[in-house]
């Protein structure tokens, strides 16, 4: 089985790529601007006994760029059967000072990029006559964040497109689900917070700690597995109890 993970050079994307390889998937590692980091992920995939391919590209550059990513992955490894739409950005912005360009950039990467990567992957699955699995990354920020109106909008949008794509693609045997991570030990929560502040926020969660990228990746592996074969259109909140919708 071939998996494509967008934004896989670090953080949750890296963990998803390595966890999928450990579960037996060949992995196309999409990276943006750190080839050395991406090569490290590819080495980890290969160490698990699976094939890896590096696929550079920016999902925020529109439908053609997204299609090119999927085509490159398929050319290197075969038809993509699992897509993890992980690539995303969260530039903090006070709402009253937010610029239109900031809004456009976040929507282009987080929402438009996810939609068109999914479209390209699904088209490939249908053409190959195979079912498949698309996993979108939402966020606990669906409930709102004062310094991320644009970010929250995109992650609520991800929930919406997940449900709609699940309905549209079910006749083709393609499942679509979303994972909404809570406070996770990556670079993201450290923008504007010290390490001590981040640890304190983790300690305040019901389960008493920050999430790890591997916690999120474990859910991705499950959703890509036969054990999730009757699950589609769902949003899984993986957050240590910090948000219970």
Residue-wise pLDDT tens digits, 101-136: 999 999 999 999 999 999 999 999 999 999 999 999
pTM value is 0.97
Q: What digits encode the pLDDT tens for the residues 62-99?
A: 999 999 999 999 999 999 999 999 999 999 999 999 99
**What does DSSP assign to residue 158?**
H
pLDDT, position 143: 96
Lowest model confidence (mean pLDDT) among 1-15, 38-52, 133-147, 180-194: 180-194
Domain ranges of the chain: 2-238
- Given a contact cutoff of 8 angstroms between Cβ atoms, the answer to whether 110 and 151 are in contact is yes
Cα torsion through 209, 156, 229, 82, rounded to 10: -90
Q: HSE (CB half, 13 Å, CA atoms) of 112?
A: 16
The residue written with tokens 């109890």 in the block is: 241
pLDDT, position 26: 98
Lowest model confidence (mean pLDDT) among 43-52, 53-62, 123-132, 189-198: 189-198
The mean pLDDT of the chain is: 97
CATH number of the domain located at residue range(s) 2-238 in this protein? 3.40.50.720
Token pair belonging to 184 = 């996770």
Q: How far is CA 83 from the centre of its chain?
A: 8
pLDDT at 190 over 90: no
Phi, psi angle pair for 201, to nearest 5° = -65, -40
Q: Which residues are catalytic?
A: 151
Q: What digits encode the pLDDT tens for the residues 129-174?
A: 999 999 999 999 999 999 999 999 999 999 999 999 999 999 999 9
Strands (E), 57-159: 82-85, 132-137
pLDDT, position 87: 98
Query: What is the C-alpha to C-alpha distance for residues 76 and 54, in angstroms, rounded to an integer?
Result: 9
Residue 243 to residues 86, 95, 114, 180, Cα–Cα distance (Å): 20, 23, 24, 10
What's the whole-number mean pLDDT along residues 184-197? Answer: 84
Residue 88: how many other CB atoms lie within 10 Å: 27
The band of 192, judged by pLDDT with boundaries at 50, 70 and 90, is confident
- Given a contact cutoff of 8 angstroms between Cβ atoms, the answer to whether 139 and 151 are in contact is yes
pLDDT, position 191: 76
pLDDT at 203 over 90: yes
Burial (CB < 10 A; 0-12, 13-18, 19+), residue 152, is buried
pLDDT at 19 over 80: yes
Query: What is the C-alpha to C-alpha distance for residues 87 and 39, in angstroms, rounded to an integer?
Result: 17
- As a residue count, the chain comes to 245
- Given a contact cutoff of 8 angstroms between Cβ atoms, the answer to whether 186 and 11 are in contact is yes
pLDDT, position 195: 86
pLDDT, position 217: 98
The band of 188, judged by pLDDT with boundaries at 50, 70 and 90, is confident
pLDDT, position 75: 98
């Amino acid at each position: 089985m071939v998996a494509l993970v967008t934004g896989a050079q670090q953080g949750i994307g890296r963990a998803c790529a390595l966890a999928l390889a450990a579960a037996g998937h060949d992995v196309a590692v999409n990276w943006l601007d750190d080839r050395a980091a991406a090569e490290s992920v590819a080495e980890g995939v290969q160490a698990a006994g699976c094939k890896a391919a590096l696929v550079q590209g920016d999902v925020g550059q529109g439908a053609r760029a997204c299609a090119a990513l999927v085509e490159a992955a398929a050319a290197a490894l075969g038809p993509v059967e699992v897509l993890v739409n992980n690539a995303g950005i969260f530039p903090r912005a006070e709402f009253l000072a937010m610029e239109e360009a900031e809004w456009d950039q976040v929507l282009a990467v987080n929402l438009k990029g996810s939609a068109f990567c999914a479209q390209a992957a699904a088209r490939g699955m249908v053409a190959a006559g195979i079912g498949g699995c698309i996993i979108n990354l939402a966020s606990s920020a669906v409930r709102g964040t004062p310094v991320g109106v644009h970010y929250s909008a995109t992650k609520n949008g991800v929930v919406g497109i997940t449900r709609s794509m699940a309905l549209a693609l079910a006749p083709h045997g393609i499942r679509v689900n979303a994972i909404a991570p809570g406070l996770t030990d990556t670079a993201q929560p450290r923008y504007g917070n010290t390490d001590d502040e981040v640890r304190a926020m983790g300690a305040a969660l019901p389960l008493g700690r920050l999430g790890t990228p591997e916690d999120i990746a474990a859910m991705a592996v499950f959703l890509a597995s036969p054990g999730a074969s009757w699950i589609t259109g769902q949003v899984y909140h993986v957050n240590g109890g910090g948000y219970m919708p």
